[in-house]
Amino acid sequence: MANKKRSVYVCTECGQETANWAGKCPSCGTWNSLKELALDSAPARGGSGVRAARHKPKRMRELDSEAEIRFLTGIPEFDRVLGGGAVLGSLNLVGGAPGIGKSTLLLQMCAQLEPGRRVLYVTAEESERQLKLRAQRLNVENEELYVLAETELESVLAAVEELSPEILILDSIQTVASAEVDSAPGSVSQVRECTLRLMRLAKERGTTVFVVGHITKEGSIAGPKVLEHMVDCVLYFEGEQSTSFRILRAAKNRFGSTNEIGVFEMNEEGLRCVANPSELLLSGRPENSPGTCVASVMEGSRPLLAEVQALVSPAGYNAARRSNGIDYNRAAMLLAVLEKRGGIPVGNCDTYINVVGGLSLDEPAADLATVLAAASSYLDRPLGSDLAAIGEVGLAGEIRSVSNLNQRLTEIARLGFHRCVIPAHVRHELRCPEGLELIPVKNVGEAVAAVLGRNRKQS
Q: Which of the two residues, 439 and 65, has the higher pLDDT score? A: 439
pLDDT per position as a tens digit, 58-87: 888 877 766 578 999 999 999 999 989 999
Residue 41 binned pLDDT confidence (cut-offs 50, 70, 90): very low
pLDDT per position as a tens digit, 377-417: 999 999 999 999 999 999 999 999 999 999 999 999 999 99
Strands 17-18 and 7-11, bridge-based pairing: antiparallel
Residue 326 · residue 366 · CB < 8 Å: yes
What mean pLDDT do residues 173-179 have? Answer: 91
The domain locations on the chain are 7-38, 70-275, 280-452
pLDDT per position as a tens digit, 303-331: 889 999 999 998 877 666 666 668 888 99
Say what the pLDDT of residue 46 is: 44
Q: State which amino acid sits at residue 244.
A: S
Alpha carbon distance 75, 73 (integer Å): 5
- What does R_g of the chain's alpha carbons equal in angstroms? 27
Q: What are phi and psi of 127, to 5 degrees?
A: -85, 165
The verdict on domain 70-275 having CATH code 3.30.565.10 is no
What mean pLDDT do residues 157-183 have? Answer: 92
In this structure, of 35-49, 224-238, 308-322, the range with the lowest mean pLDDT score is 35-49
Q: Which of the two residues, 256 and 153, has the higher pLDDT score? A: 153
Please give the C-alpha separations between residue 382 and each of 286, 308, 379, in angstroms, as whole numbers: 10, 13, 9
pLDDT per position as a tens digit, 257-281: 876 788 898 888 899 998 888 888 8
What mean pLDDT do residues 105-129 have? Answer: 94
Say what the pLDDT of residue 241 is: 65
3-state secondary structure (DSSP) of residue 74:
coil
pLDDT per position as a tens digit, 335-358: 999 999 999 999 888 899 998 876
- Residue ranges of alpha helices (H) inside 138-270 are 153-163, 188-205, 226-230
Residue 456 binned pLDDT confidence (cut-offs 50, 70, 90): very low
Mean pLDDT of the chain: 86
The conformational region for residue 406 under phi > 0 = left, psi -120 to 50 = alpha, else beta, is: alpha
CATH topology assigned to domain 280-452: Ribosomal Protein S5; domain 2 (3.30.230)
pLDDT per position as a tens digit, 185-221: 887 888 889 999 999 999 999 999 999 998 876 667 7
Say what the pLDDT of residue 45 is: 42
Shared fold status for 70-275 and 280-452? no
